[in-house]
Amino acid sequence: MHLINAFKVLQPGPFTTLQDAGRFGVRHLGISQGGAIDLYSWAWANYLVGNAWGAAALEITFGGLKLQACHDLYLALSGAELGAEIDGHSVEPWTTVCIHRGQILSFNQPRNGLRAYLAIAGGFQGKPLLGSLATVYREQLGGPQGDGQPLAAGDHLQAQAVYSSTQPQAAKIPSIERPDYSQPVMLDCIIGAQADAFSATSLFNFFNHKWTIDNHSDRMGIRLNGPLLSCSISNLISEGLTLGAIQVPPNGQPIILMNDRQTIGGYPRLGNITPLSCARLAQCLPGQHINFRAIPLETAFRQHLRFLRQFGQVK
């Protein structure tokens, strides 16, 4: 594989990382899944430049990133609107554009959503660890150098493809597929795990009150503030944790576990939000309000199959 320097990092922003679909088959070793926290936006960004499922892209949190192109490149942006510009000219998200050598791609503060994804034709390259480039800072795994660090000023991001080598698969995705992050947030929840140990009042409050995203939220878990939830189980023997698990610690305030979650835990779980709801939650800013609705497992399964079929992951 012939690699080139695609971008030089002039300004890294508060937290910009390299993410692919995640690191699987290693949870028995205590290693997190990692990967794009908004799988939906990550998948569409790669689709727009013709990348296969699993290609690494940049996950840009809160903006502030500034890159200089080292070659002519096809790129696509998806997810949050972070005021992206090329040499001062606005770049529309959810579309494919080209950038020429020497031009500056910059991101400002969030305008709509929290995290944007930048994909280039061929995907960003790095040192795979346990089959993935996914950056997990806590475990010092993944990223361009394989050490789990976010981008730093002076880094050079490598890629396989350049402007003339790969034609993008699509120039723009259908408007119906573009999330509107300004709309009220309703997350789909599958009731399960230890739900029957929660009081009836707690279950009612969980689905009928607004919850607020806590400031102390990250890629490991989204903490919520709202009504206190009461459970007859204070602690459990630790068991495996899934993406989107809704853990309720003794303080009664739920935590939704995300991509960089621990692999096991002993707090009772009310249920699980769906992967697509995890993607939507990943775009919520601290202080934003969210709501939950219960859906059957079969409905969640059909929704996810439809999503995966769009990218050729299931027949």
pLDDT tens track for 89-98: 999 899 999 9
| Strand order from edge to edge, sheet including 57-61 | 15-19, 57-61, 112-120, 73-81, 95-99
Rounded CA separation 168/78 (Å): 14
Q: Tell me: the pLDDT tens digits for 60-70?
A: 999 999 999 99
How buried is residue 242: exposed, middle or buried, by Cβ count under 10 Å (0-12/13-18/19+)? middle
Give the DSSP H/E element, type plus range, for residue 188.
Answer: strand 185-191
24, 89 Cβ separation under 8 angstroms = no
Strands 289-294 and 185-191: parallel
pLDDT-based confidence at residue 314 (cuts at 50, 70, 90)? confident
- Domain extents for the chain? 4-177, 185-309
Average pLDDT of the segment spanning 41-63: 96
pLDDT at 165: 46
Cα dihedral 200, 204, 207, 209, rounded to 10, equals -140
CB 271 within 8 Å of CB 190:
yes
Rg (CA), the chain: 20
pLDDT at 167 over 60: no
What pLDDT, on a 0 to 100 scale, did the predictor assign at position 175? 87
Q: What is residue 33's three-state secondary structure?
A: coil
Q: How far is CA 296 from CA 188, 190, 191, 273, 302, in A?
A: 9, 6, 8, 11, 10
Q: What is the pTM of this model?
A: 0.95
Comparing C-alpha atoms, which of 266, 221, 276 is closest to residue 240? 266
More confident residue, 208 or 193: 208
What is the phi-psi region of residue 314: left when phi exceeds 0, alpha when psi lies from -120 to 50, beta otherwise?
beta
Other CB atoms within 10 A of residue 34 CB: 31
Contact by Cβ (8 Å): 249, 228 = no
Q: Is the pLDDT of residue 235 over 80?
A: no
State the pLDDT confidence band at 161, using cuts at 50, 70 and 90: low
Q: Is 49 left (phi over 0), alpha (psi -120 to 50) or beta?
A: alpha
C-alpha 189/C-alpha 196 separation (Å) is: 15
What is the H or E stretch that residue 83 is in? none
- Does pLDDT of 163 surpass 50? no
Which pLDDT score, from 0 to 100, does residue 315 have? 78
| 185-309 CATH choice from 3.40.50.720, 3.40.50.1970, 3.40.190.10, 2.40.100.10 | 2.40.100.10
Q: Which DSSP state fits 196? A: G
- Alpha-carbon distance 140 to 264, whole Å? 19
